[in-house]
Structure 1
Amino acid sequence: MIKFRKIFQNTKHLAGIMTIKIIGQFRAPKFSLPPVVLLSYPRSGSSWAGKILATSPQFAYLREPITQPYMKKYGGQRPVFLTEDDHPDITTYKHLADNAFAGRPSLYKGGVDNKYDFLPFSKNKAKRLLIKEVNPGAADFFCKRYQPFLLLLLRHPAAVALSYYEQGWLNKVSSSNFDEWASFGRLYGTFMAGAVRTINKYDGSKIIKYEELVKDPRQRFLDLFNSCNVEAPKNFDAVIEKYCHAENEVSSGYQTQRNSKLTSEKWKNKLNKQQLESIKKGFLETTLPFYREAVDWRLI
């Protein structure tokens, strides 16, 4: 019975999204400008941060509306790449991005928090799109094509590398010159440095460090709501308690309810010195101007 109910609920949800997409072909929903993009490298905490930001009653939230269909439907090889005109998938990527920034949701599970935010006939005041994405190589493309307010989320490369390792993804980034840990450190630093360069020449943007968010989530998220020119939810304190001070540490997976401070420092307990030195070696070959001091790399 429980399994049947879940299948029914998923089918009902997908049918609702499909209806919205069909209607949207004839009359697109109206959204306030500019859209807000929360951009990070995969496994950097953007699902958690996006979930909290999405509690604003003025946001209509789309979670990875480009990456998820690109990888699952169109056979994309990797989520992070430079969106240049000579990339073989650029036409598909642009099509998915155009749909996302027009507020046309994808059909994959988990992509939409509230499908009613995307109804074209809503009488409520127009909301602002909040799009969470995980391809920092697309930062320049997003800024030039859609002029969003861009939030770039950084996280310590060792924390992201550990999460990749726990997901079984780390061996996919190794190169002939480095082991898999160093290869990841260099890859992360290279893509995030490029995104930071875009941020530095683009007015509508803000850099966020995950470690600063978890240190004082209440104040930091209030600052982000203010930067995005939207209201915090009326139950904001309860939101922070739910998503930042949960009892579970979240060792891996995609949960957004967590003890965020414990999660941010997990790499200090899980990685050994050799792994950390490898990540650091690859990372320091890049120009990303964060996490470069010796104190940033201390294990517990």
Structure 2
Amino acid sequence: MGFRAGRESGPIFIVGLPRSGSSWVGGCLGISSSALYYREPCTRAYSAANEGRVVFEVTPDNVPDAYLRSSQKLCCHSPYIRPSVVAYPHQWPPFSRNVRVPVVKEVNPLACSWFIDRFNPRMVVVLVRHPAGIASSMRTLGWVLGEGSTLDDWRCFGSRVAREWQQMLEQIADCDQVKIVRYEDVCQAPLETFQGLYRELGLEWSAMSEQWVRGSSNAKLQSKDHFSIRRDSVKNAYRWRESVTQDQLQALMEGYAEYELPDWYQT
């Protein structure tokens, strides 16, 4: 069952930590006329039955039941999935969904090795974002670093992000179908970047794709909905500089530097 017959028939995964911009990137890729877009099928099923963090290591011996159930539905393109997973209902008629390329957006990078083994994807797009951008976005939602947070708290958060990225890199080290993309690079040139990703991923670029990317990247008013995928992408890339102090940034990056990572972010 599923996608084990060959990588060319496998899904495309977009994976990043929460608040890394994966909803925007996933939505812009998933709108392709050749795509069948799934929005966090494993994470949403898991969150419905469990409280706590959604980022945790998934191994063959430690796969949550919610992940297994969701993967079975995904493999057979089952329509019996959570409505919140279906971002674009027009993609789901039976005659349509069976010929489209599954594009799956998830927010648990520590499940990458399981995603790769379970689904044999044609590509895993790993999205990274500046740790200060993740911290600022999570803080706005009240998830981390609330009032009274110390510089040690910021340092610990930076260390946590780096540790999780290092674990993710270890999981994908032996997979040759991985592309790491910086959120900030997509923000600076969204149209050109998405056109390139469409070509590399084998997705069909159309007038609708271009309209969607332009519309979601050039919103001049900042939405009050923190989960909106419409933004002024150029301004949004480094909007965190408006709310993160220099001392907080320094502490964050001190924690981040505790782990050896590629040269994605230095300051």
> How does the TM-score come out when normalised to structure 1?
0.78
Aligned to 2:58, what secondary structure does the other structure show? coil
Against the structure 1 CA distance between its residues 76 and 100, is the aligned structure 2 distance closer, same or farther, given a 3 Å change threshold?
farther
CA distance in 2, matches of 1:123, 1:180: 49
In the aligned structure 2, how far is the partner of 1:94 from the partner of 1:44?
25
Is 1:246–1:258's contact at 8 Å kept on the other side of the alignment? yes
- Identify if the C-alpha distance between structure 1 residues 103 and 167 changes in structure 2 by more than 3 Å, giving closer, same or farther: same
Alignment correspondent of 1:150: 124
Q: Which residue of 1 aligns with 2:5?
A: none
SS of the counterpart of 1:84?
coil
Q: 1:83: which partner in 2?
A: 58
8 Å CA contact 1:181–1:278 kept in 2: the answer is: yes
Matched, 1:68 2:44: yes
Q: Deviations over 1:188-207 (max 9, x none)?
A: 11112222333342112211
Give the fraction of aligned pairs with identical amino acids, expressed as a percent.
26
Shift of the 196–251 alpha-carbon distance from structure 1 to 2, 3 Å rule, reads farther
Q: How does 1:127-138 map to 2 (within 5 A)?
A: 127-138=100-111
Aligned residues of 1:193 and 1:289 also touching (Cα < 8 A): no
Looking at structure 2, the residues matched to 141 and 206 of structure 1 have their Cα atoms a distance apart, in angstroms, of: 17
- Higher relative contact order at CA 8 Å, sep ≥6: structure 1 or structure 2? 2
**Larger displacement relative to structure 2 (189-198 or 160-169):** 189-198
Counterpart in 2 of 1:245?
218
- Relative distance call for 1:99 and 1:76 in structure 2 (3 A) is farther
Q: Normalization by structure 2: what TM-score?
A: 0.87
CA distance 1:133–1:125, shift in 2 (3 Å): closer
**2:31 aligned with 1:55, yes or no?**
yes
- Flag structure 1 segments of 5+ consecutive residues without an equivalent: 1-31
Of the candidates 187, 190, 193, which is equivalent to residue 214 of structure 1? 187
1:181 corresponds to which residue? 154
Task: Report the aligned-residue RMSD.
Answer: 2.5
Unpaired runs of 5+ in structure 2?
1-7
2:12 is aligned with 1:36: yes
Cα distance, 1:189–1:266 mapped onto 2, change above 3 Å: same
Please state whether the residue corresponding to 2:125 is helix, strand or coil: strand
Q: CA offsets, 1:239-287, max 9 Å, x none?
A: 2320111112347610111101111111112100121122112111122
Structure with the greater alpha carbon radius of gyration: 1
Number of aligned residue pairs: give it. Answer: 257
